[in-house]
Chains A and B, each alone.
Chain A
Amino acid sequence: MPDTGYLIAAVAVAVAVTWALRALPFAALAPLRSSPLIAYLGAVMPVGVMVILTGYTLRAFDPQAPDRAGPTVLALACTVALHLWRRNVLLSIFGGTAVHVALASTLFAH
């Protein structure tokens, strides 16, 4: 088990890097805010950023391993279907995760 001193240092490092990445660009990008290019990037980026992050969380996906891939595919389908149907963020996340946990812990358990 990691000791407390190490954990505190690890948290401090993660906080410092994360905060710096969130705060410093405001100073660097401030002069660019009014440019049409920046407005364009600000408008089109969100959907792409979320698609990339979704892909990133699925990086361990392996169609050759049906016990892991099965729950992922079914839960993803449930999340998308629920969200297209009800448009309720909370319901979609809860529903998709519940399906994934249920499948991964029972039918597809190792």
Chain B
Amino acid sequence: MPSAERAGPLPAAPVPDRGLVPDLVRALKDSGSVGLGAFPIGVAFGVLVVHSGLEWWWASVFSSLIFAGSLEFLFLGLVLAAAPLASIAVTAFLVNCRHVFYALSFPLHRVRGRLRKGYSTFALTDEAYAVTAGEAARSFSSRRILWLQGFVHLYWAGGATTGALLGSVVPAQVTGLDFAVTALFTVLAIDAFRDRRDIPTPLLALACVLVGRFAFPDQMLPVAFTLFTAGLLARHAWTRRGSTHA
């Protein structure tokens, strides 16, 4: 595991050049695969915004400020039904509760400066998490992380704006664009699996989400996450006990 925590010059370090341009190029590459997936989802969201009767620029406002894709699809439904602000707060809390766990592995300690750290937490999306959750990201520079997040932000808000502007051209009979979110999470799951090839964890997650869906349909997400975390804790305790006895 690389222990190059300091930014000091390490002669044969894997990331020798910390210049602006190389960092930008790296950030663009990092954001390219996973982050660009945010663009079609943004387009889908933008189309839905104008098809629901709102002005096109609300799509830009929602996507650049809330910047949490899966929440925004739900948020749109809530504001169209004029839901109370308390319901919006509760929904935002439940849908984004998972972000609490992202603090465990997101390399925020690499980001320098208060404002930058502030933006970095603001833009800590599923995509940013997925790209930086691996071991390699422990050595990312501050600038590389920030630009990566900025690019994803741009793809998402740009996609939503594009979709909203195109939305009036797309006939209302065209449905099913919201599948883009499902496709994104499916692809991220496959990539995360390829990283570790650990079969019990996705099976445990699948069991938890099915329990949440059928036993607690109204609290599906928090129930699934709580069960999943509890399951992982139990498994960790079990393997540790096993290894000390072996």
Instruction: Mark A residues whose CB is within 8 Å of B.
Output: 1-2, 6-7, 9-11, 13-15, 17-19, 21-23, 25-26, 28-29, 32-33, 37-38, 40-59, 71-72, 75-76, 79-80, 83-84, 88-90, 92-94, 96-97, 100-101, 103-105, 109
Contact = CB atoms under 8 A, between A and B. Distances in A.
Given A57-B182, A72-B179, 16 more contacts: A6-B82, A10-B79, A17-B96, A26-B108, A26-B121, A44-B196, A44-B232, A50-B186, A56-B209, A80-B190, A83-B186, A90-B36, A93-B41, A93-B183, A100-B177, A100-B183
B217 A59 contact: yes
B190 A14 contact: no
A3 to B, nearest CB: 9
Contacts, number: 249
A43 B126 CA distance: 15
Q: Which of A10, A33, A84, A109 neighbours the largest number of chain B CB atoms within 10 Å of its CB?
A: A10
Interface stretch (B9-17, B84-92, B140-148, B161-169): B84-92
B65 interface: yes
B4 interface: no
B37 interface: yes
Contacts of A46: 105, 129-130, 133, 188, 192, 195
Given A23-B118, A83-B186, A97-B179, A52 B225 contact: yes
Contact of B205 (A11, A15, A26, A48): A48
A13 B40 contact: no
A51 B80 CA distance: 29
Contacts of B58: 7
Interface of B: 33-34, 36-37, 39-41, 44, 53-54, 58, 61-62, 65-68, 70-71, 75, 78-80, 82, 85, 88-89, 92-93, 96-105, 108, 118, 121-122, 124, 126, 129-130, 133, 173-177, 179-193, 195-196, 198, 201-202, 204-206, 208-210, 212-213, 217, 220-221, 224-225, 228-229, 232-233, 236
A96 B179 contact: yes
25 contacts: A10-B75, A11-B62, A13-B85, A18-B67, A21-B96, A21-B100, A33-B104, A41-B104, A46-B129, A48-B228, A49-B228, A50-B130, A51-B189, A51-B205, A52-B228, A55-B210, A56-B70, A56-B221, A57-B185, A83-B190, A89-B191, A100-B183, A101-B176, A103-B176, A109-B173
B68 A18 contact: yes
Contacts of B80: 2
